[in-house]
Chains A and B, each alone.
Chain A
Amino acid sequence: MSAVTSTTASAADYDGLLLQGGQWRGRSFTGLRVAVLAPGREAALIVPDVVRTARSVKVFQEEPDWLVAWHLPLPRLLARPAARLSLRWSVPDPWTRRRLTPDGRFNTRRPRVDGRYYAALRQPGCTLITWPVYAFVPDGVRSAEGIEHRVDCIVLGTSSVFATASSREDVPA
């Protein structure tokens, strides 16, 4: 269940390199300041890859999701406590951890298997931003804490609230 209603912001207002769908795969981001706009489950796929080559990465995480480091044959009831433990072990900073914790009442997705996202967020040059993005401008994005974030490249996740209908496809949960 998502509370995100229609948005008037359009990625077309951004003049830099805009990557949608799977266009970020296998690409080098050397020297680029990159913004990734995606919910947690998808940022977990994109960010570890982008952070390897980019000069800096700002992760605009639209909604957190549960992640577990390994595939464990756990019953559904234990999947979420396992994800919580995984988060506790991987992210020592309480404020970052708080921003990576999904709202259990509204986010009912099963934890996704991913062992790289939390580590990628701790790389130097990688910043987790959870302020809502409300507009695209020629040089980057503006978020609701009042700041314009200028970047050379925007990677738009397919589940992002800003993904156009044609590029949107469901990412397996």
Chain B
Amino acid sequence: MSFDFDAMLQTIKDKQWSLADIDWDAPGAETVTDELRAKMKPFMADLVWIEHVGARGFASLATKAPTPTIRRIYEYFHAEEQKHANAELALMKRWGMLDEDGTPPEPNINVKLAIKVLDEYGDGLPLTGLATLIPLLECALDGALVKFLLDEVSDPVCHQVFRHINSDEARHITVDFQVLELIGAGPLHKLVIESVALLKPQVVLGLIVVFVPLINKMRDNIVAMGLPEQKLYNAVKRFATIGSRGDFTQRIPAYHVLRAQAAMVVDRTSPYHRLLADPMVRLTSLVPARLLGKPQAWVDELTHEPIAS
């Protein structure tokens, strides 16, 4: 079953692309009408920030990687998620969604909470927790959001950018689940110890306050745009589908917890929405952002400029 992580690292290096490869002034920006621009702007802002936060998640994951090769792969994934955020910001600039200076949009409160939690606790989370959470986020948010975008926008530059992004994401998901297989195949006592470590109140609370409303808030935004939420649910289902293919992933307790959560997320009739997730969206919207303090400097690393001198 052993997966060749060295070969994967080489593929990742070979498949690198740059914002400088793309002609950001090519025709097609005019296909984004005023109406579409207004509708898409908050969606794009969320997308940029989710990629950016995902990048930070990989940075934490790198500190827990089981081997030097996997660590290097995560360092590349950290950079690639940042590249996706940069490219999406460049699309926003191309479509006239940013000001003259290209200042990145302000993140919503749920993203700000995610930033706070990652800064405070990200590097302290055990490998099993982060390694399970990140593929769920990637399946759910990235997968679904990107598909919405391509359905809505006909700009060829957008499609060119997302061909690159999708190809990167396919590798991310492959590695994410191969690492779960590797963890799952490890000794049982290690799985149990790491799982118990995950029951720390700040971790459980972090999941409820940050992750639960983040997904539902995104669903609300998608529904507000008039898009079928079923697509988000299909993407969440992928997490369970791919995970169930592995031989060892199912030995990981955190995987079962998140899979159960994913099942509740996709079931619109589940009391999960009524009693937990939707109230959490309303509750978190009341949190004053200034309470969260100043985020770490990585949040300022977004840029839409393909060339820096």
Interface set of A (CB-CB < 8 Å, partner B): 1-8, 33, 93-96, 98, 103, 106, 131-132, 134-135, 140, 142-151
Residue of B nearest to A142 (CB): B18
In angstroms, Cα B19 to Cα A95, docked, is 25
In angstroms, Cα B79 to Cα A2, docked, is 19
Nearest Cβ in chain B — how far from A161, in angstroms?
10
Across the interface, do A146 and B17 meet the contact criterion of CB distance under 8 Å?
Answer: yes
In angstroms, Cα B20 to Cα A135, docked, is 12
Q: What secondary structure prevails in chain A residues at the interface with B?
A: loop
Most buried by B among A2, A96, A147, A148: A147
Within 8 Å by CB of B298, from A95, A132, A144, lies A95
Across the interface, do A6 and B10 meet the contact criterion of CB distance under 8 Å?
Answer: yes
Nearest Cβ in chain B — how far from A80, in angstroms?
16
Across the interface, do B69 and A33 meet the contact criterion of CB distance under 8 Å?
Answer: no
With A144-B83, A146-B83, A148-B306 given, name 14 new contacts (CB 8 A): A3-B72, A6-B10, A7-B13, A94-B297, A103-B71, A131-B79, A143-B79, A147-B303, A148-B20, A149-B308, A149-B309, A150-B307, A150-B308, A150-B309
* A134 CB contacts on chain B under 8 angstroms: 13, 16
* B9 CB contacts on chain A under 8 angstroms: 3, 5
Within 8 Å by CB of B20, from A6, A8, A93, A147, lies A147
- Contact string, B57-69, partner A, CB cutoff 8 A, digits 1/0? 0010011000111
In angstroms, Cα B24 to Cα A170, docked, is 43
Across the interface, do B18 and A147 meet the contact criterion of CB distance under 8 Å?
Answer: yes
Across the interface, do B297 and A93 meet the contact criterion of CB distance under 8 Å?
Answer: yes
B155: interface (CB < 8 Å): no
Nearest Cβ in chain A — how far from B277, in angstroms?
31
Across the interface, do A148 and B16 meet the contact criterion of CB distance under 8 Å?
Answer: no
Nearest Cβ in chain B — how far from A45, in angstroms?
23
In angstroms, Cα B87 to Cα A147, docked, is 10
In angstroms, Cα B14 to Cα A7, docked, is 9
Nearest Cβ in chain B — how far from A122, in angstroms?
13
- Considering only residues 204-249 of chain B, those with a C-beta below 8 Å from chain A are none
